[in-house]
Every structure is written in structure tokens, then in C-alpha cells.
Amino acid sequence: MVYVTGDMIRIGINASFVRKPGSGIGQVTSNFLTELAVSTALFQTAQSDEVEFVLYLEEDLPAGIKLPANFRTVVFLPFWKRDDLVRKILWEKISLPRRAAADGCDVFLSLYQCPTVMPAEIFHIMLVHDIVPKLFPHYLNNARKRLYWQWTEKAIGAAQKILAVSSRTEKDLVQHLGIAAKKIAVNYIDCDALYKKPISLIKIQKVLQKYHLKSGYILAGGGMEVRKNVEGVIRAYAKLLDSNRRAHFVADIPQLIIYGKLLPQLAPLALDAEKLVKELNLTQHVRLLDMTPQADMPALFSSALFFAYPSRYEGFGLPVLEAMAVGCPVITAKTSSLPEVGLDSVLYCHSDDTHDLAMVMRTMLTNPALRKTLRQRGQERAQKFSWKKFTGKIAHIIMEHKQIKA
């Protein structure tokens, strides 16, 4: 088998989520595009090859993303302009496949699981982050969401190649959706590049002043969805305070700081953190920061004594990687994909056992040497993940397809 040289290949990409930089998929999209812009040679088998990337968008690209000449953008909306699930379905399921076919795409990359089914002549690669609605049906709390997920399951099965962001997600696809293992490849994502850059003391001080904080707090958050289990952290923290009043194992328990958008109107999908803190009489000990800009997060992680993230289920677990990259010691759950991300660089707890979590928090709190070890191990572990590796694996799959097709 030989490579075909001097060929033209057109690769379409659903880059819609670049307009939502605060979301995990938005971060994946923007970081992948940034890496792709400097790694286009990976998609060529010879200098004479021509590769064109077509980015399909619902809004113009953010000003900060610079693209080479062999990239072009296609911005469009269906007749339904309101930014809701109806528009999302129309755009992903109907408009997008038609546009990609009309533009002559040879390959199409969906950067998240969605109802997009491409015509047979387009080699479709779909990146699947998780199958949360399948495992937690309460997320499908209306007919539109149920229909969207039904179509998404069918689209995942129809894609010629599936990329799973973790081995756990790969196993879930096989076990719960009946996807053939040979169709799936694991491709780990990375965190945003800003988490791996040095943070100046001036920047840290500015962020602490902005939120009226002193370094040395306990940090939690990453989302107020019930499955993220911030409730478990708050209840474990209450136990920690109570045991310290009785045993005095440290002079004082640091403040618990929780970041993440408060969405009590989404009950039972989201935790009403304000209500729980009041019920447990913790208003003097717990601060809720609500939504925090990503630019502030490296400083917030680096100033924390440790980060507690006992999530019940993750397709990957980006907040754990973000904390490790900055050098913040992490406590997380021994469930789903989290041990894949943390390995021996974090401490583990049982996600639904608040007594166990409180004990692990106490261990972290009273052992400075352990925290130092975890800081070092976490940063070393975080370097194993990279957007270059992620992009390289996608390029390999596309080039392998090109070989077979030739």
C-alpha cells in the first residue's frame, strides 16, 4: 500500500462551540483550532498535497484565533434564529450535513457528540466526551431533550470513527450503546494552555484582591450539576469543622471557597448551594463565588491548599487536570474516568461517602509533605496531556483513511 501524493483533501470541522469559551467543549474547540493552525503539515503525506480546512460556525470566530490561508470559515444559521435546542437540532442535524456535502468535504470532524449524520461519501469522525444522558436519564426532563439524545445516539453509531476522550467513555460506548470497539479510539484532551503557563505573584495578588480572599483556602466547584457532587464537599466540610471543634487537630479550618454558576432554578439537576450552606449554618465558613472567568482560575487554584472534586461521573474530568497543571493538590473520586486523569498524582475518596471525604480532606489538611508531593506529581502528570498529541492522533486517523481509500 502506498500513499497518494499531490492530492487535495477537504476537512470540515464543526467548530460551533468556539463561541462558548466557558464550556468544556468550547475549550476543546478553541485549543484544538489553535494547535491545528500550526500543525497542518501533519495532514499531508507529501509537500505537493493540498489540505483545506473548512470551519462551520454559528457566529464569527473570536478575534484571538488566527488561521492560515488554507482555512476558511462558513457561518450560517437555519431559519430558526433563537439560540435554543430547536436551532441546535436544525443546525446540527439538517443544515450542517447539507453544507458539508455541498462544499465537497472528504472528511468531517464533529468535536462533540451530536445528531449530525453525514452522507456516506464523507468520512465522519465524532469526538464523544461522555454519554451522561444515557447514564443519568433525569437530564432528559422534556420531550425535546429526549428526542435530541435519541438522534445523538443514532449519529454516534453512524459515524465511521469515534474518538472517546477517555477509556471510561470508550467502555461506556461499548457497554451502553453497543458500539463496536474497533470503531473507537481513545484520544485524551488537554486543559487550556493558560493553566500550564507560570503565574506571576502580581497576577495572583490581583485575583485574590478581586474576590477578597487570602491564600490557603479549600477550593471546590467545577459545576453545580448534582452529579458533580459539590453537595458532598459541603457536607464533608461540615463534618470536618465539627470534628475539629471536638479534637482540635488543627488550630483553624480554612475557609471553603466554591466556584461555579449558581443555578437553583434547574432543580433537581443543579444544587442550590446557597440554601444548603444556610441549612448547615456554614455562612461564616463557606464562600460562593458564582461564575468566575477562566483567566482567574489558575490563580485561584494556585492559592488553594487543595481542590476537592468528588464527582460521581465524568467523561474526562477537566477541572482535575486544570488543578494538577497549576500545582494544586487534588482530592477526587475513584469513579468513571477520574483515576485515568489523576493516576497516583491525587488522593481518592468514595464520592457518596461524606465521612470518607471528610477523612481524606483532614489527611490533606494536616500533611504538608503530602501536599508538596502531590503538587509535584500533579504537574508532572499534567504534562502527559497535550493538544499536539490530540491533534496528531486525529491526523493519523485521517491519513490512514486516505491510505485505505487510495
| Residues 330, 306 contacting (CB under 8 angstroms) | yes
> Where are the domains positioned within the chain?
8-190+386-400, 193-382
Question: How confident is the model over 353-372, as a mean pLDDT?
Answer: 97
Q: In one letter, which amino acid is 406?
A: A
- Whether 100 shows a pLDDT value over 60: the answer reads yes
- Whether 5 shows a pLDDT value over 80: the answer reads no
Residues of the chain above pLDDT 90, percent: 85
What's the fold here for domain 8-190+386-400?
Rossmann fold (3.40.50)
Predicted local confidence at residue 250, as pLDDT: 82
Instruction: Name the pLDDT band for 401 (thresholds 50, 70, 90).
Output: confident
Predicted local confidence at residue 367, as pLDDT: 96
Q: For 255-273, how does the pLDDT look when each residue is reduced to its tens digit (9 = 90+)?
A: 999 998 877 656 668 899 9
* From 3-12, 93-102, 126-135, 213-222, the region with the lowest mean pLDDT: 3-12
pTM of the model: 0.93
Alpha carbon 101 to chain centroid distance? Answer: 29
Instruction: Name the pLDDT band for 217 (thresholds 50, 70, 90).
Output: very high
193-382 belongs to which CATH class?
alpha beta
Q: For 278-327, how does the pLDDT look when each residue is reduced to its tens digit (9 = 90+)?
A: 999 999 999 999 889 999 999 999 999 999 999 999 999 999 999 999 99
Q: For 373-392, how does the pLDDT look when each residue is reduced to its tens digit (9 = 90+)?
A: 999 999 999 999 999 999 99
HSE on the CB side for 140, CA within 13 Å? 17
Closest CA relative to residue 92, chosen from 138, 24, 156: 156
8-190+386-400 and 193-382: same fold? yes
Predicted local confidence at residue 359, as pLDDT: 97
- Summary mean pLDDT of the chain: 93
Q: For 8-63, how does the pLDDT look when each residue is reduced to its tens digit (9 = 90+)?
A: 899 999 999 999 988 899 999 999 999 999 999 889 876 657 899 999 999 999 88
Question: How confident is the model over 183-212, as a mean pLDDT?
Answer: 96
